[in-house]
Amino acid sequence: MWQEERYQRIRKMLAALHSVSTDRIASELGVSRETVRRDLIALEETGALRRTHGGATSTDPADATPLAQPVSLAPRGDGRHPRAITRAAAGLLSNGQTLFMEAGDMALHMADALTVLHGLTLITNSFEAAMRVCASTQHAAHGNRAVVLGGVAYGPLAATLGDQAINEIHRYTVDAALLFPSWVEARHGATHGELERAEAGRAMAANAHRVIVLADDERIGRSGRVSYCAADRVTTLVTNRKAEATEGYDGLAAAVGNVVLA
């Protein structure tokens, strides 16, 4: 990834989150912590951010969330591709199913998309997605419910991770696992930058009859440090049509076998 592209991605993350950790930036960009450190130094010199212990915060007051207000549950990003992708994924599911859903940037969009279904049990490590289901009158009317996995709270992802979360995952056998990898490609399958995040996703995939991977074109054909679901283990890949032009798409589509383009 070119330097200027990294700068733009970091600025977008800060605009959305106000504060972001070095580990999360490294994971999202697929680069080393040292590369992130150099980028943050350079951006701080331009006044674009302020470095903190373990990350950075935005210097734009418009990006700040007042502490007296609740954390926003609005899906991140412009939502165009995530909404289309999650709606297509919801079309692969049926009423009355039990689902795993890992935490990730698409989790809130997926929670919204599931309102078309009835009698769902959603088991997730995403606090935000679980609250989205609990707070929705549509979900309540359709008899859908959310179960939050226990474990160690991981702030940057608003999720639970660790051994307790994994042990709880192994208590269930579900109809489908909805995975949101940081990157996905033919050789290494679904990957993340963080080991604990990948281990939770691995456990979900292992205890599901079907594995549905949701990833937009920016995540196709690239690999993170930790693989957690092989491409041939993926039942269906759901992505946007722009992904067809991405380097590595053809190999991934062949390895997965079933692709839905939203």
Using a cut of 0.85, tell me whether the model's pTM lies above it.
no
For residue 261, which of 89, 49, 121, 62 has the smallest C-alpha distance? 89
Residue 257: per-residue pLDDT: 84
Instruction: Identify whether residues 17 and 143 lie together within a single domain.
Output: no
Instruction: Identify whether residues 125 and 165 lie together within a single domain.
Output: yes
Instruction: Identify whether residues 128 and 241 lie together within a single domain.
Output: yes
Cβ(178)–Cβ(99) under 8 Å? yes
- Residue 77: which residues within 8 A CB-CB, separation 6 or more? 16, 105
Per residue of the chain (262 residues), what is the pLDDT tens digit? Answer: 577 788 888 988 888 777 888 888 888 888 888 888 888 988 887 888 888 877 888 877 554 443 333 333 444 444 568 899 999 999 999 999 999 999 998 999 999 999 999 999 999 999 999 999 999 999 999 999 999 999 999 887 889 999 999 999 999 999 999 999 999 999 999 999 889 999 999 999 999 999 999 999 999 999 988 999 999 999 999 999 999 999 999 999 999 989 999 9
Domain range enclosing 38 = 3-58
Residue 67: per-residue pLDDT: 34
Q: What is the CATH number of the domain that holds 109?
A: 3.40.50.1360
CB burial of residue 76 (10 Å; 0-12, 13-18, 19+) = middle
- Altogether, the residues listed in the chain come to a count of 262
Instruction: Identify whether residues 171 and 223 lie together within a single domain.
Output: yes
Residue 75: per-residue pLDDT: 44
Interstrand relation of 208-214 and 174-179 (parallel, antiparallel or unpaired): parallel
Assess if residue 72 is contained within a domain. no
For 83, phi then psi, to 5°, come to -65, -45
Residue 59: per-residue pLDDT: 79
Instruction: Identify whether residues 9 and 98 lie together within a single domain.
Output: no
Ordered alpha helix ranges (H), the chain: 3-17, 22-29, 33-45, 80-90, 107-113, 127-135, 137-141, 163-169, 195-206, 249-256
Assess if residue 119 is contained within a domain. yes
Residue 195: per-residue pLDDT: 92
Assess if residue 67 is contained within a domain. no
Instruction: Identify whether residues 115 and 198 lie together within a single domain.
Output: yes
Residue 33: per-residue pLDDT: 83
Instruction: Identify whether residues 102 and 48 lie together within a single domain.
Output: no
Cβ(228)–Cβ(194) under 8 Å? no
